Amino acid sequence: MNAVIAGLGITEMGKVYGRTAPEFAADAVRLAVDDAGLALADVDGLLTNTGITGDVGLGLQRDLGLRDLRLLSEVQAYGSSAGAMVQYAAMAVMSGMASVVACVFADAPLKEPGAGAGAAYAGLTTTGWRGLAAASGIYSANTMYALAARRHMRTYGTTSEQLGHIAVAQRAWAALNPLAQMRDPITLADHQSSRWIAEPFHLLDCCLVSNGGVAVIVTTADRAADLNQPPVRILGWAQTHPGNDEQLGLVSGAAISGPAALKMAGATIADIDVAELYDCYTFTALLSLEDYGFCAKGEGGPFAASGALGPGGSLAVNTGGGQLSSYYMWGMTPLSEAVVQARGQGGDRQAPRNDLVLVSGNGGLLDHHSTLILSAR
Amino acid sequence: MPVGIVRRDAATTEFFDGTARGELLIRSCACGAFAAPQARTCPACGCELTAWAAAAGTGTVETWSIVHNRKLPPVTVAIVRLDEGPWMQTQLVGDLPDDLRDLRVRVAFEQPQGGEAVPVFGAAG
Ligand SMILES: [Zn+2]
């Protein structure tokens, strides 16, 4: 018996002010339930993942008026959480522990117009070991990922221009996505001339910051058979949490979670039609391409520069524009676009083949990884 | 850019006692391996780490970033691989070459008023 994704809810997204993260979360669940053709009262499981503002949690049950839930928990594995929630939900419905599980992420880090984008992501810890790194100037994800990316560059010769090709390709996809926040096309020259954030990252190597929420509904294939949407089967899944500082910037958890999830699905990487890769930075997408085996280790730069990744390229990657150009909802960004693509509802950005869709989630400093293999066929 | 203020907690007491003396303390294991100061478990043998040792204070830049901020001058940060093996996340100070790849560096300490002494690294002479 397969578990499936039967509903998808995406709230208004981006610079949307005056609403809290729990409000976005509740809206996203309602939208996902409606999308599936279910009622809120059908939901008997709820998994929540809070973003940086940290206030989406168990209280969401009462916000939604849900009674007698058979599964309720907060999940936290940062950017890999969305994939992880779907995995736990799948196991819950397959075991019969619950029948309809809503998985939701929401965040509202942008507080008011004029506030620095990402300001909520730069909190300083001034005590102990983390305080020591912060006092040394290392306190933001930008800097940590920049250190990782530089290590890849010095090891494999990867260049800023090659990273730029990922930003350009994803913006070209975003131009076709009405949900995307950033739809104006960019060139490689735009990427190279955008201001430095933390070298080797320019501004256009870095994800957006968004307010909003995304939810999916996981249920059994039997239950989904007469619902509104084409059921998206969850064919394979895996997590990897490397815990290995020595591989910083050279190998991510995708190297293990990818093959494990593909094996469960009875597929190989060559079977993947669409890849929705976690892209907090251009570099994260590049490293994931290598670790999943879409190209050889160290060849991510030339692969990106070959033009393979944009609309009309040889591999449909981050077809909604990803977190670089569409919206920053942690692992829900690749997952939501994967559901759209698997259903064939991508409109102008629909990939030509969509039999098998891979979703990656990445959290921490490449510390946590999840993979899902999805199909509506 | 000067280093920021960091205060000690129970886990960092010995380490900051060391930096106050001008010593860079790292963890040492009975098996002969060294580990980063914040490590709790020996990466070589799996033993719990309890002993400290003073590092020589020299190492090699493993990776680096120049961090830009619209309000402050850029700061160069790095991961330094100490000659004993452990990695340190740190700030690079003083005159630095354009290409920092594999740069040999040596520790120094900066102590802002109200904070602990923080290890930083400059190009080894
Ligand atoms: Zn040992």
Domain residue spans of chain A:
3-110+209-224, 141-206+232-377
Per-residue pLDDT at A176: 98
Distance B120 CA to ligand 1 centre (A): 27
Q: B8 CB near a chain A CB, below 8 Å?
A: yes
SS3 state at A47:
strand
Is B63 in Cβ contact with A148 (below 8 Å)?
yes
User: Looking at residue A283, what is its pLDDT?
Assistant: 98
**A147-181 pLDDT tens trace:** 999 999 999 999 999 999 999 999 999 999 999 99
- Distant-in-sequence, close-in-space partners of A270: CB < 8 Å, separation ≥ 6: none
Given a cut of 90, is residue A117 above it in pLDDT? no
Active site residue A278: yes
Mean pLDDT of B14-18: 98
Residue A125: what pLDDT? 58
Is residue B20 less than 8 Å (CB to CB) from chain A?
no
- A147: nearest Cα among A250, A28, A20, A265: A250
DSSP codes, A54-72: ---STTHHHHTT--S-SEE
Residue A27: the pLDDT is 98
| Nearest beta carbon to residue A147 from set B1, B37, B79 | B79
Across residues A29-49, what is the average pLDDT? 98
Q: What residues form DSSP beta bridges with A3? A: A220
CATH number of A141-206+232-377: 3.40.47.10
**Which residues on adjacent β-strands are paired with residue A105?**
A49, A214
Q: Which residues of B touch A148 (CB under 8 A)?
A: 63
Report the pLDDT value the prediction gives residue A160, as an integer from 0 to 100: 98
Alpha-carbon gap, residue A301 to A308, rounded angstroms: 11
pLDDT value, residue B125:
76
Average pLDDT over every residue of A23-35? 98
Cα distance from A372 to chain B (closest Cα, Å)? 31
Picking from A119-123, A131-135, A220-224, A373-377, which range would have the lowest pLDDT averaged per residue?
A: A119-123
Higher pLDDT, A126 or A190: A190
CA dist A130 and A229 (Å) reads: 46
Q: What is the pLDDT of residue B71?
A: 84
Read off the tokens for A346: 């991508």
B64 contacts A137? CB cut-off 8 A: no
pLDDT of A105 reads 98
Q: Tell me if B120 and A136 make a contact (CB, 8 A cut-off).
A: yes
Is the pLDDT reported for residue A123 higher than 70?
no
Percent of residues, chain A, with pLDDT higher than 90: 94
Chain B residues within an 8 Å CB radius of A134? 4, 6
Q: Give the pLDDT band (50/70/90) at residue A124.
A: low
Nearest C-alpha of chain A: how many angstroms from B28?
18
Superfamily classification of domain A3-110+209-224: Thiolase/Chalcone synthase (3.40.47.10)
Does the beta-carbon distance from A245 to B87 stay under 8 Å? yes
Comparing A124 with A315, the larger pLDDT belongs to A315
Closest among A67, A198, A77, A140 to B69, alpha carbons compared: A198
pLDDT value for B1:
62
Q: Which residue has the tokens 């800097």?
A: A143
Is A139 known to be catalytic? no
pLDDT at A359 exceeding the cut of 70: yes
Minimal CA–CA distance to A175: which of A274, A311, A283? A311
The answer, for B67 touching chain A at a CB cutoff of 8 Å, is yes
Helix A81-95 with A332-343: angle, nearest 10 deg: 60
Given this model, what pLDDT does residue A111 score? Answer: 83
Tokens 């080797």 found at: A200
Supply the pLDDT for residue A114.
Answer: 54
Among A278, A281, A292, A327, the active-site one is A278
pLDDT above 70 coverage of chain B, percent? 99
Distance CA(A292)–CA(A259), nearest Å, equals 7
Separation CA A85–CA A108 (nearest Å): 20
Distance CA A274, CA A317 (A): 6
According to the model, what pLDDT value does residue A120 have? 47
- DSSP 8-state class, residue A195: P
CA-angle at A208, arms to A30 and A239, nearest 5°: 70
The rounded distance, in Å, linking the Cα atoms of A284 and A360 is: 10
Q: CB A328: neighbour CB atoms within 10 A?
A: 26
Query: Is the confidence at residue A99, as pLDDT, over 70?
Result: yes
Residue B78 touches partner A, C-beta closer than 8 Å: yes
**What integer pLDDT is reported at residue A46 of this predicted model?**
98
Q: Is the pLDDT of residue A121 over 50?
A: no
Please write the tens of the pLDDT for every residue from A238-290: 999 999 989 999 999 999 999 999 999 999 999 999 999 999 999 999 999 99
Q: Do domains A3-110+209-224 and A141-206+232-377 have the same CATH topology?
A: yes
Partner residues linked to A358 by β-bridges: A275, A373
Mean pLDDT taken over chain A? 95
**Which chain A positions have a beta carbon within 8 Å of B65's beta carbon?**
143, 146-147, 150, 198-200
Residue A308 pLDDT more than 70?
A: yes
B20-66 pLDDT tens trace:
999 999 999 999 999 999 999 999 999 999 999 999 999 999 999 99
* DSSP states of B26-89: EEE-TTS-EE-TT--B-TTT-PBP-EEEE--SEEEEEEEEEEEETTEEEEEEEEEEETTS-EEE
Q: Do residues A38 and A7 touch, judged by C-beta distance below 8 A?
A: yes
pLDDT for res A52: 86
Q: Do A147 and B6 touch (CB under 8 A)?
A: no
**Residue from A370, A158, A366 nearest A249 by CA:** A366
What gap in Å lies between CA A322 and CA A343, rounded to an integer? Answer: 18
Chain A contact probe: residue of B38, B67, B120 with most A CBs at under 10 A: B67
B82's tokens: 């100490």
Residue A112 has pLDDT above 60, yes or no: yes
Residue where the block lists tokens 């790194």: A133
